[in-house]
A and B are shown apart, each in its own frame.
Chain A
Amino acid sequence: MATKLKRMAPSTRSSFLTYGMVIAAYVVMQAMLSGGLLTSSLKGMLVPICAYVVMAVSLNLTVGIMGELSLGHAGFMSVGAFTAVIAAAALQNTVSNGPLRLVMSMAVGGVFAGLVSLIVVVPVLRLRGDYLAIVTLAFGEIIKNIINCVYVGMDGTGLHFSMKDAASLGMAADGKVLLQGPMGAVGIQKLSTLTAGFLLIMLTLAVVLNFIHSRAGRAVMALRDNRIAAESVGISPTRYKMMAFVTSAVLAGLAGGLYAMNFSSILAKKFDFNTSILILVFVVLGGMGNIRCSIIAAAALTVLPELLRQFADYRMLVYAIVLILVMIFTNNPAYKAFFARFRFRRKTAGKETA
């Protein structure tokens, strides 16, 4: 086993370590869950943590691997969440199996998020840097505003859509309102489970890690490092950037579906600019392009406010201070040099730090 590990390419070994870490975390969580060791508030956070991990990994594909700052990732999550909720309600009578319905509706969410990203990708291909960041922010806000105005209902004949109010849906007497504009989606069946979240993380990892180590992934990274050089050797920016961006959006849509079906009701406001920023924080704190660390950062930062509960009212204040201090300590050249000394010593001891 040990020799086999040594013979593996470093990237493969690193990928296996990432999978192993997620599997181990899942086993521990399941054990703690069945042992009754988790507080109820932590139990309720398991599925959101899974969703945020998927969001962080998928955003890392855009920010870390593609090198473009996106401030509207929550928009795709939102599209995925609401389409998945509607799909789950529409499939209620035809598909009675809960997990199957969850998978199907999440897939619908992912597809719709992918479709929306096909529109967003147009400016992504044209703009760069801060201008691109502001456009993604704008798209996120537009998506939030539009969902805030949409009313969806369902009765015996099928789905009804309206942009005005619930009364104008024109439903039969047995109709049920699924999405109530600013009131959000209500009466959601809680289908999401920790296992579903775990499987989604594994799927995301498989997609993203294989993408990074594939021909397309290398092309995207080449475009990130030097666009002109990459183009001159025949790499098409349109094709590869689109591939990476749409993949990232579809994964965000899936995560949105998972997230929404963990709650009985959900608002469009939940997926605003602040959520996009939160996910970006996971990615940057974990290290751009570093998938494993963004998983750790997403899980740790989602639990952190919960762990800081003893600070009561001060907990978000402490969270902010922790965030600033971590950024300063990991990025200031003086502190970096200080930590690098330790790292050097470890490397000479014959250990791999990558």
Chain B
Amino acid sequence: MTILSNLISGVSLGSIYAIIALGYTMVYGIAKMLNFAHGDVIMVGGYLCFCSTAYLGWHPLPSVLLAMVGCTVLGIVVERLAYKPLRSAPSLAVLITAIGVSYFLQNAALLLWGSDPKVFPTFFNFSGKSSWSLFGGQLNVSYVAAITVAACLVIMLALTAFTGHTKMGKAMRAVSEDKGAAQLMGIDVNFTISMTFAIGSGLAAVAGVLLCSSYPTLMPTTGSMPGIKAFTAAVFGGIGSIPGALLGGVLLGVIEIFARAYVSTQLSDAIVFAVLIVVLLVKPSGLLGKLVREKV
């Protein structure tokens, strides 16, 4: 039973990573940039949700929506101001700019909300209980875990449908394949990239709320470590691939929780990263990544 309960918390943590990894993967696929500020958008989402419930006394649902809208706007603004002028710049320059944005968001949060950790309210508390008791109390499944996994699956399916069947989604795939050709076919590349940032940031807000519901301390640096892990997950599954992000995220979460439970708490991160290195040595473009043949 402990194995099962560890598995559940692993999958739930992994689902959060997967949602964050989606943002990385989509932006990478289209703009070919590593958006290091993505982890900090999660943190901003968490704070927005926290403020609207704790200070304004809103119901959880509108406050989650507020966080999503806020992060979406933030994503678009950041893209316009910081990344758009660098569209044709070398990728490392964009990477450093993204790091600058990450510093900016962290320090802005530090000024606005202070460095002391905030305790995130419990949203998923129905009729006084926060978990299901199964098998006569032997197994407790928290509502947060169940909702996280469900949210992850819904987002994944919606996104697959979106990129596969809508006009915008097709435009996104076209831009990710060949920016120049897409522009010649009448696709507004800048708008498409902005939309990708918007979707990625909106998802980051959801991930932020879910993350803070499972691990309820909120600090300006809350987003950075999950951000790095999710980036790892995106690469693990093959960056640029949506199912890869899900697979990578869930595997990473499960490995982390199992390593924490059965090997060592302090070394759990080291084990996660060691597994990643081994996987990349065997499959150099991630689990589901496309292997691009090199032509001379």
Binding site for B on A (CB under 8 A): 63, 69, 122-123, 126-127, 130-131, 133-135, 137-139, 141-142, 145-146, 148-149, 181-182, 228, 273, 277, 280-281, 284-285, 288, 313-314, 316-317, 319-321, 323-324, 327-328, 330-333
Q: Which of A145, A228, A320 contacts B104 (CB 8 A)?
A: A320
CB neighbors of A among B219-233 (8 A): 228, 231-232
Interface string of B86-106 (1 = CB under 8 A from A): 101110110111011101101
B151 at interface by CB-CB < 8 Å: no
The answer to the question of B34 belonging to the interface, with a C-beta cut-off of 8 Å to chain A, is yes
Is A142 in contact with B273, judged by CB distance below 8 angstroms?
A: yes
| Alpha-carbon gap, A309 to B46, bound state (A) | 30
Q: Which residue of the partner chain, among B88, B264, B266, contacts A333 with CB atoms under 8 Å? A: B88
Residues of B within 8 A of A148 (CB): 266
Kindly list chain A residues whose C-beta atoms are within 8 Å of the C-beta of B82.
324, 328
A324: B residues at CB distance < 8 A: 82, 97, 100-101, 104
Per the bound structure, the CA–CA distance linking A168 and B270 in Å amounts to 22
Q: Is the pair A319, B103 in contact by a Cβ cutoff of 8 Å? A: yes
A276 to B31 CA separation, bound complex (whole angstroms): 24
Q: Is B284 an interface residue (CB 8 A)?
A: yes
B181 within 8 A of A: no
User: In the complex, what distance in Å separates the CA atom of A89 from the CA atom of B280?
Assistant: 39
- For A141, the chain B residues whose CB sits under 8 A away are 228, 269-270, 273
Residues B277 and A130 in contact, CB atoms below 8 Å apart:
no
Instruction: Judge whether B274 and A142 touch: CB under 8 Å.
Output: yes
Question: What number of A-B contacts does a CB cutoff of 8 Å give?
Answer: 124
* Nearest chain B CB to A211 CB, angstrom units: 21
Among A145, A277, A288, A332, the most chain B Cβ lie within 10 Å of the Cβ of: A145
Query: Is A131 a contact partner of B107 (Cβ separation < 8 A)?
Result: no
Out of A123, A139, A149, A313, which one reaches B281, CB within 8 Å? Answer: A123
Number of interface residues of B (CB under 8 A): 45
A interface secondary structure, majority: helix
CB of A147 to closest CB in B, whole Å = 10
Docked complex Cα distance between A127 and B267 (Å): 25
25 interchain pairs (CB within 8 A)?
A: A69-B95, A127-B280, A130-B34, A131-B280, A131-B284, A131-B285, A134-B276, A135-B276, A138-B273, A138-B276, A141-B273, A182-B266, A284-B93, A317-B107, A317-B108, A317-B111, A320-B101, A321-B100, A323-B99, A327-B89, A327-B93, A328-B97, A330-B93, A331-B85, A333-B89
In the complex, which of the residues B34, B96, B267, B294 contacts A285, with contact meaning CB atoms closer than 8 Å? B96
